[in-house]
Amino acid sequence: MDQPNMADLFGKMAEMQQKMAETQEALGNQTATAEAGGGMVKVTADGRGRITAIKMEQEVVNPDDLELLEDLLVAGVNKALSEAEALREAEMKKAAGSFLPPGMDLGGMMGG
């Protein structure tokens, strides 16, 4: 059986790192939006897991019920971050998958 060519191996690693970097860059341009309170609060996160926008219906901004607004914001932010994480995992798996032999799965190596 042939020994793996180290130059080829390092070339593939460098190519994979480049692909991952490009995927990370692209994730900054992708977004996930989540709603809370039946759409009263909408939170958008980018694929890197940063909140990029929060929109609220006027009626949810009630000085006498700040607790409701706080709860809706927390729920919306957590949902958006969760969706952004799922988007990021899917994109990174797709990028990594192009370098793996068929049938090989990174599984726990992706930090998930």
- Rounded Cα gap, residues 61 and 66, in angstroms: 7
Domain that holds residue 88: 29-99
- For the chain, the 3-state helix, strand and coil shares in percent, each to the nearest 5, are 55, 15, 25
* Residues listed for the chain: 112
Is 83 part of any domain? yes
Is 20 part of any domain? no
pLDDT for 17-63, tens place per residue? 888 888 888 888 999 999 999 999 999 999 989 999 999 999 999 99
- Region of 45 please: left (phi>0), alpha (psi -120 to 50) or beta: beta
Mean pLDDT is highest, among 53-57, 85-89, 100-104, for: 53-57
Is 110 part of any domain? no
Give residue 104's pLDDT.
55
pLDDT exceeds 90 at position 74: yes
Is 17 part of any domain? no
Reduced to 3 states, what is the DSSP secondary structure of residue 31?
Answer: strand
Which residue has 């690693």 as its token pair?
A: 13
- For residue 65, the domain's CATH number is 3.30.1310.10
